[in-house]
Amino acid sequence: MPKKYNSLTALIQLWPFVKQYKKALFVAILGLLLNAATDSTLISLTKPLLDNGLMNKNYILLVYIAIAIIGLIALRGLSNYASTYCLSWLSGKVITKFRQMIFNHLLKSPVSFHDKHSVGDLVSIITYNTQMLSKASSDALIILVREITYAIGLCFVMFYGSWKLALVLIFLIPLIIGVAQFIAKKFRKTLMSMQKGMGEITTSADEMLKGHKDVLIFNAKEYEKNNFNKITNIFRRDMLKIEMVSRLSTPLIQMIATLGLALILYLVASQSLDITPGSFTVVFSAMIAIMRPLRELTSLHVELQKGAVACESLFGLLEAPLEEDKGTIDANHITGNIEFRNVTYQYPTTSTSVLNNINFKIKAGQTVALVGRSGAGKSTIASLIPRFYDLEKGEILLDGINIKDYTLKSLRNHIGYVSQRVHLFNGTIADNIVYGEKGLHSQEEIIKVAELANAMEFINKLENGIDTEIGDNGVLLSGGQRQRIAIARVLLRNNPILILDEATSALDNESERLVQEAIEVLQKNRTSIVIAHRLSTIEKADRILVIDNGEIVEDGNHHSLIEQNGIYALMHKMQFKS
């Protein structure tokens, strides 16, 4: 369960990120203090202006006051600029730091974490929640420093004008505190709902854009539209609730302040107080002016609640466990012998094991195929080798060493992985082939591996060749073309271990032939684990393991398994029956 944050714990958690920029924070606070002080000082000048300057016709004093007002206005503008700039700079630094930390954390998070969280929710945290924390923190700081200082300054101005009238404030304080507490209680639940809603909006838009063709072919435009409308309407209502609650403070505070003003006017009208025009004007002006800081102070709880809610999601994500990387072996070369010993695995989100006591060995340079029904555990076996998921029972050995004893970087440097769903990055073909090793390979090397992968067959037909932009996730390429780029990517790295997870299952016959030829080149002198749906692609494998219900039920080559007349033979007959 994510840790719950209140306003204080959120500020404590946030402080280490802010204190790195103490100079900017100091200048911002100083600017806010000066800004508040100049505003209250300007109002205090009303008393000498009226009582001593105008009433007594002291024109020299009026000149001095005019000069003082000009100086105060200049100081007010300068302090406002300094505080605004420093706060923007500071919040920009903090939000950038948070986004970089979260992005880096997500990079290092285990695959199991990403399995449990939608892309939309995670993107919402990086964008919306960080922005909400930054704005809430800066707004809260402005209220805490400037508005409180301004309110205190106005109190002094009122006591300076007439201490008797200023005592009216004593009756306002409990009412203001009560309003603030009321708003804070109403606010938090709606904020949590709104934060969740932003993730749902992002997820819905992401799914529609990525699956646009499926939406069209299944005539699901109306469904998607209604679903998105429902989500955005809920978000709109939550936004409206927040606006209603936060704006409720304005009329309430105005009503409270108006009662204070009415009391002052009553005391003056009843001649209960002997007061000069200047004193009355100062107190009256200060009472009018204090409405703003009082109103802002009631929103302080709102801003702090926003920060606390944002902190829950941000620090909750940052506290999520990373991939375990306690290995110390950084191998420059491996032979490629793989052994599974008593491997049992259960996904965190399931209640039953997907693999049960798996044992087998693969000699260096061998090609071993894994076949079986969907959900039998084939892809899980392949995912365990590069440690996309970590074992709790059993062990996997690479060249006789537990894969957990290798550093993750070293282990994965020796593994090439081509899946059915190839992910390509927005950029050129060349960028995708050298992905992760940009600048380490010449154009000649890129073209060579592209030729070996049968990719130059279509690359040469493109206007810009290997420098052709392929769009988001290679949207401008066919499935076979994408697979060949993925194979070229692995060929360039020359990994001694190769994992092919149904790399040809979604291809047409011509594309499959070209990709299969590229795969045969790729498999030379490599330890290969091939997950296959089409049995014709693995007939030449040195060894075939038939997986069923998480167990190895048959083991042999193509001919021996056909002779056994078991599951493999049945699968073969079904695929090749006339």
Burial of 575 (0-12, 13-18, 19+ CB in 10 A): exposed
197 in Cβ contact with 238 (< 8 Å):
yes
What is the CA angle 70-40-69, rounded to 5?
10
CATH number of residue 280's parent domain: 1.20.1560.10
**325 domain residue, yes or no:** no
433 in Cβ contact with 467 (< 8 Å):
no
Full DSSP string of 472-500 = GGGTTS-HHHHHHHHHHHHHHHT-SEEEE
Query: CA–CA separation, 411 vs 281, rounded Å?
Result: 78
Average pLDDT over residues 23-36: 89
If you count DSSP H runs as helices and E runs as strands, how many of each does the chain have, helices first? Answer: 23, 10
Which residues share a beta bridge with 531? 370, 501
CATH number of residue 368's parent domain: 3.40.50.300
**215 domain residue, yes or no:** no
Distance of CA 120 to the CA centre of its chain: 9
Residues in Cβ contact with 400 at an 8 Å cutoff, skipping those fewer than 6 apart: 337, 339
199 in Cβ contact with 129 (< 8 Å):
no
Average pLDDT over residues 93-111: 86
**226 domain residue, yes or no:** no
For residue 368, the model assigns a pLDDT of 92
Please indicate, yes or no, whether residues 257 and 143 belong to a single structural domain of this protein: yes
Please indicate, yes or no, whether residues 202 and 97 belong to a single structural domain of this protein: yes
Full DSSP string of 311-336 = HHHHHHHHTSPPPP----B--S----
Please indicate, yes or no, whether residues 312 and 353 belong to a single structural domain of this protein: no
Q: Which amino acid is at 539?
A: E
328 in Cβ contact with 411 (< 8 Å):
no
Confidence of residue 176 (pLDDT cuts 50, 70, 90): low
Tens-place pLDDT, residues 199-252: 677 777 777 766 665 676 567 778 788 888 888 888 787 777 767 766 666 677
Please indicate, yes or no, whether residues 372 and 515 belong to a single structural domain of this protein: yes
For residue 397, the model assigns a pLDDT of 94
For residue 173, the model assigns a pLDDT of 62
Q: Which one of 288, 318, 348 terminates a domain?
A: 318
Can you give the three-state secondary structure of 193-258, one letter per residue? HHHHHHHHHHHHHHHHHHCHHHHHHCCCHHHHHHHHHHHHHHHHHHHHHHHHHHHHHHHHHHHHHH
Please indicate, yes or no, whether residues 541 and 569 belong to a single structural domain of this protein: yes
**331 domain residue, yes or no:** no
Please indicate, yes or no, whether residues 304 and 436 belong to a single structural domain of this protein: no
Please indicate, yes or no, whether residues 64 and 160 belong to a single structural domain of this protein: yes
For residue 170, the model assigns a pLDDT of 60
**234 domain residue, yes or no:** no
Q: Which two tokens stand for residue 369?
A: 């195929």
Q: Which one of 267, 285, 318 terminates a domain?
A: 318
Q: Which domain holds residue 128?
A: 7-206+245-318
Percent of the chain predicted with pLDDT > 90: 14
**451 domain residue, yes or no:** yes
Tens-place pLDDT, residues 125-161: 888 788 877 777 777 778 778 888 888 888 888 778 7
Confidence of residue 36 (pLDDT cuts 50, 70, 90): confident
Tens-place pLDDT, residues 458-468: 889 888 888 98
Choose the weakest-confidence range: 6-10, 318-322, 404-408: 6-10
117 DSSP assignment: S
Can you give the three-state secondary structure of 386-448, one letter per residue? CCCCCCCEEEEEECCEEHHHECHHHHHHCEEEEECCCCCCCCEHHHHHCCCCCCCCCHHHHHH
Confidence of residue 578 (pLDDT cuts 50, 70, 90): very low
99 in Cβ contact with 125 (< 8 Å):
no
Full DSSP string of 352-370 = S-SEEEEEEEE-TT-EEEE
Please indicate, yes or no, whether residues 344 and 304 belong to a single structural domain of this protein: no
For residue 1, the model assigns a pLDDT of 47
**323 domain residue, yes or no:** no
**219 domain residue, yes or no:** no
Percent of the chain predicted with pLDDT > 70: 83
Please indicate, yes or no, whether residues 277 and 355 belong to a single structural domain of this protein: no
Domain count for the chain, please give it.
2
Please indicate, yes or no, whether residues 304 and 363 belong to a single structural domain of this protein: no
Please indicate, yes or no, whether residues 171 and 31 belong to a single structural domain of this protein: yes
For residue 453, the model assigns a pLDDT of 82
Tens-place pLDDT, residues 420-433: 778 888 888 898 88
457 in Cβ contact with 396 (< 8 Å):
no
Closest-CA residue to 372 (of 535, 172, 231, 542): 535
The alpha-carbon radius of gyration of the chain (Å, integer) is: 35
Q: Which one of 263, 289, 318 terminates a domain?
A: 318
Please indicate, yes or no, whether residues 491 and 556 belong to a single structural domain of this protein: yes
User: Is residue 506 predicted with pLDDT exceeding 60?
Assistant: no
462 DSSP assignment: S
Average pLDDT over residues 261-267: 72
